[in-house]
Amino acid sequence: MAFSEMLAQLASGAVFTVLVTVACCATALAVGLLSACARRVFPFPAVIRALDLFAFVFRGIPVLVLLFLVYFGLPGAGIRVSPLGAMMLSLGVISGAYLAEVFRGALDAVDAAEIMAAQSMGMSRWQVFLHIELPQMMRFSVPGMVNEFTNVLKYSPFGYTVGIPEMTKQALVLSSATLRGVEIYLAAGILYFLVYRLLLVGVRVLEKHWRVPGMGPAHLQDQPV
């Protein structure tokens, strides 16, 4: 088998890797945002306790255990989940629990006086969240989100255990067929790195677009007056 053919097969796996990563990141984002929103819009003790408990429990469960529970366990209870769905419900939700913590910290960094100013204008809790807390929270959370999305990429090979033909799976197949494991896994590693770089570039573009003087990393700041 020519090396170019092998690369093509790895690349076909990379498409699934990106698919799994994007789907799980989207799930994580949805879970994290929902949690942050509930925390601020319904700040009742019961809601806060439930959110804390969710984050606590799901950050403690190994991804693989939850994945198997969803994919192999749930059918026993009559619920069938697709491989991608199972990845979203395990890796996606666990990452969502981590993101919820990232967002919680970012929400705490929003100036209480600004929140009070918005309330004193007559905004509802939802409006305060939407117009003041959310936009600031997202900007404060960039480093934490990059971290979490990178983790999702690195956990995406678990998709192979439920039959998703992603990149690691392809590398495994190729190396057992050709016995050229070193080159193949090296190539796979480089491809993972490229996907990672792509993710970073995407974040940088967004960051630049949303950049606000006075918010975000110090090295991007102009000097204040």
Partner 1 sequence: MALIEIRRLRKLFDGHPVLNGVDIDVAEGDVKVVMGPSGCGKSTLLRCINRLVEPSSGSIHFRGAEVTGPDVNVRSLRQQIGFLFQQFALYRHLSVLDNTALGLRKLKGMKKKEAAERALHELNRLDMAGHRHKFPAHLSGGQKQRVALARALAMDPAVILLDEPTSALDPVMAREVAQLINRLHGEGVTMLCVTHDLEFASAIAERVAFLDEGIVQVEDRLSVLYEDHAHPSIRNFFMKQERSS
Residue 78 phi, psi dihedral angles, 5° rounding: 85, 10
218 near partner 1 (CB under 8 A): no
Nearer to partner 1, 124 or 147 (CB): 124
212 near partner 1 (CB under 8 A): yes
SS3 string, 104-136, reads HHHHHCCCHHHHHHHHHHCCCHHHHHHHHHHHH
For the bound state, the minimum distance from the C-beta of residue 119 to partner 1, rounded and expressed in Å, comes to 6
209 near partner 1 (CB under 8 A): no
Per-residue binding letters, 74-113, with partner 1 (x by CB under 8 A): -------------------------------------x-x
Which sign, positive or negative, has the C-alpha torsion 100, 61, 199, 218?
Answer: positive
Per-residue binding letters, 113-142, with partner 1 (x by CB under 8 A): xx-xxxxxxxxx--x---xx--xx--x---
For the bound state, the minimum distance from the C-beta of residue 105 to partner 1, rounded and expressed in Å, comes to 17
For the bound state, the minimum distance from the C-beta of residue 11 to partner 1, rounded and expressed in Å, comes to 40
**Per-residue b/e over 77-99, b at no fewer than 16 CB within 10 Å?**
eeeebebbbbbbbbbbbbbbbbb
Q: Is 41 exposed, middle or buried (0-12, 13-18, 19+ CB in 10 A)?
A: middle
220 near partner 1 (CB under 8 A): no
Judged by the rule CB under 8 A, the positions of this chain that interact with partner 1 are 111, 113-114, 116-124, 127, 131-132, 135-136, 139, 212-215, 221-222, 224-225
